[in-house]
Amino acid sequence: MSYLVLSHVSKWFAANKLVPSLHNTNIIKFVMNNLPQCALGTDYKEKCIEERVNGKFLGLQIDNHLNWKNHIDQMISKLSGAC
């Protein structure tokens, strides 16, 4: 299933004359706190795409529970340094 999704994304990139950087690509699987979690192994074009618990997307630090705590902590440290 994940290979099919990555194939569609790759076709979209190609149609829009964009080149995805697979070595900089990560996957965050969003989950609910009360549900069991399982690992998501994803290979595409003979490269393993790493699953991460948190990451930065469009300047926002988010985790797999859509929690902004890491982003807020990062912003507090930057803002207190500026003061």
Q: Are residues 12 and 37 in the same domain?
A: yes
d(CA 33, CA 77): 27
Mean pLDDT of 3-17: 84
Q: Are residues 17 and 33 in the same domain?
A: yes
User: Is residue 18 pLDDT above 70, yes or no?
Assistant: yes
The whole domain housing 20 covers 1-52
Q: Are residues 32 and 60 in the same domain?
A: no
Q: Are residues 14 and 34 in the same domain?
A: yes
Q: Are residues 39 and 65 in the same domain?
A: no
Decide: pTM greater than 0.85: no
Q: Are residues 45 and 10 in the same domain?
A: yes
Q: Are residues 43 and 60 in the same domain?
A: no
28 and 52 in contact (C-beta within 8 Å)? yes
Q: Are residues 41 and 79 in the same domain?
A: no
Q: Are residues 38 and 68 in the same domain?
A: no
- Maximum distance among all Cα pairs of the chain, rounded to whole angstroms: 49
Q: Are residues 11 and 39 in the same domain?
A: yes
pLDDT tens digits, residue range 50-82? 788 888 888 888 888 888 888 888 888 888 877
